Amino acid sequence: MTGNETDTETDSVGIVSLVGSGPGDPELLTVKARRLIDEADVVLHDKLPGPAIIETIPEGKREDVGKRAGGDRTSQEYTNERLVELAREGNHVVRLKGGDPFVFGRGGEEAAYLAEHGVDFRVVPGVTSALAGPALAGIPTTHREHASSVSFVTGHEDPTKEESAVDWNALAATHGTIVVLMGVGKLPGYTAALRETGMSGEVPVALIERASRPDERIVTGTLETITGVADREGIEPPAVTVIGDVAGERDRVREFLQR
């Protein structure tokens, strides 16, 4: 070592990509999402991207941060810390999320945590099931004859909240389409809440389970009947609920709708 050399150690800091995988069909991944997944050193994913996408990732570079055996879940705190840890080791990390990372996907929380800890990140939007689910079922979320607005609502709020932040009266007053994500379990509650606002029980409703996947199922009914239909058909998460006159458009096109 010469006299003017110094022995310094510099951290090699990587980058985190918050990537939306779309509703589950691998062909609905964006080109950029596919490239970044293939180039990543580590992919942290949950179950929502679906097996058809997850299985394209080599097992040695993917980590499941979703549900665990026995019903346990990986905490958001752990996922946040793991993203920072891996990036600080110099990795290109993909945080793979279902749909779009900023639509009820906690992407905003993860972005804020990365920024607070000095980690560079980028966001890759995905096709949200709030739009893809209805579209694939032949249901336009807006329609000149039926709805000039559409509202996206979560059916699964933070359980630590003392009361719901969803104003069903305000949503009903828009006379537009209401799309509820992660709302199967709370279906009886919010359909009743909308009825209590004065919304007609005859308003069409559609449920799209596992949109875009081989085992996709679609059931329809009305605000009054849909809970019974869902129970009878055994509809399970993940599913999208579409409430509004646009849901009735499916019957007009379903005979010719090719999948």
The question of whether 67 is a catalytic residue gets the answer: yes
25, 97, 182, 199: the catalytic one is 182
What are the angstrom distances between the C-alpha of 133 and each of 14, 60, 136, 162, 238?
A: 35, 32, 5, 31, 11
Q: In whole angstroms, what is the distance from residue 177 CA to residue 133 CA? A: 14
Task: List all residues 6 or more positions away from 179 whose beta carbon is below 8 Å from its beta carbon.
Answer: 130, 134, 141, 150, 151, 152, 153, 240, 241, 242, 243
67, 120, 231, 251: the catalytic one is 67
46, 97, 100, 199: the catalytic one is 46
The question of whether 46 is a catalytic residue gets the answer: yes
For residue 183, the SS3 value is: coil
CB count, 10 Å around CB of 6? 5
Task: List all residues 6 or more positions away from 171 whose beta carbon is below 8 Å from its beta carbon.
Answer: 151, 153, 178, 194
The question of whether 11 is a catalytic residue gets the answer: no
Q: Which residues are catalytic?
A: 46, 67, 182
